[in-house]
Amino acid sequence: MAAIAWVDVVGVPGNPGPAPELASVGAAAQELYLALANDFVNVAMFDGEDGARTKLARVYIAAHFATLDKLRGTSIAGPVISESRGGLSRSYANLTQMSMASGLFGQTTYGQNYATLVRTSRARFPITV
């Protein structure tokens, strides 16, 4: 199996991967994200076990779930959607609710990139058995 490694996700100094901001993810979490990504992607729907699109799909899935977990840790109290002071008030878009409407993969750029790979692969076509 041509499983990905964390270096495929974050890269190395001088040659960053797609998600260098995830370099601080702990080793135990890295293993979990990699196991998920390596099992999640159906290689038959891309370009086989050793294919570049399969590898990229795995990298995007690992980065997506690591990013989701990182984002969850930064907004414990939830987003500010409005504020008021005296007679003035201001409202903001509730991006948390908007992103939930975009599905599982719409919440991060990596998830969106993965969804694009799926839409442009055999995975988007109906399969008859």
Residues 37-88: tens digit of each pLDDT: 999 998 988 999 999 999 999 999 999 999 999 887 654 444 556 677 888 7
As a whole-number percent, the residues of the chain with pLDDT over 90 amount to 51
3-state secondary structure 76-129: CCCCCCEEEECCEEEECCCHHHHHHCCCCCCCCHHHHHHHHHHHCCHHHCCCCC
The pTM of this model reads: 0.74
Answer for the pair 64, 110: CB distance below 8 angstroms, yes or no.
yes
Count how many domains the chain has.
1
Tally of CB atoms within 10 A around 46: 22
In a domain, 61, yes or no: yes
Angle at 18 between CA 15 and CA 21, to 5 degrees: 90
Residues 3-26: tens digit of each pLDDT: 899 999 999 988 999 999 999 999
Q: Taking all residues of the chain, what is their mean pLDDT, rounded to a whole number? A: 82
Residue 114 CA to residue 110 CA, distance in Å, equals: 6
In a domain, 45, yes or no: yes
Q: The domain containing residue 98 runs over which residues?
A: 6-124
In a domain, 1, yes or no: no
In a domain, 129, yes or no: no
59 against 91, higher pLDDT? 59
Q: Which residue has the tokens 């003035």?
A: 88
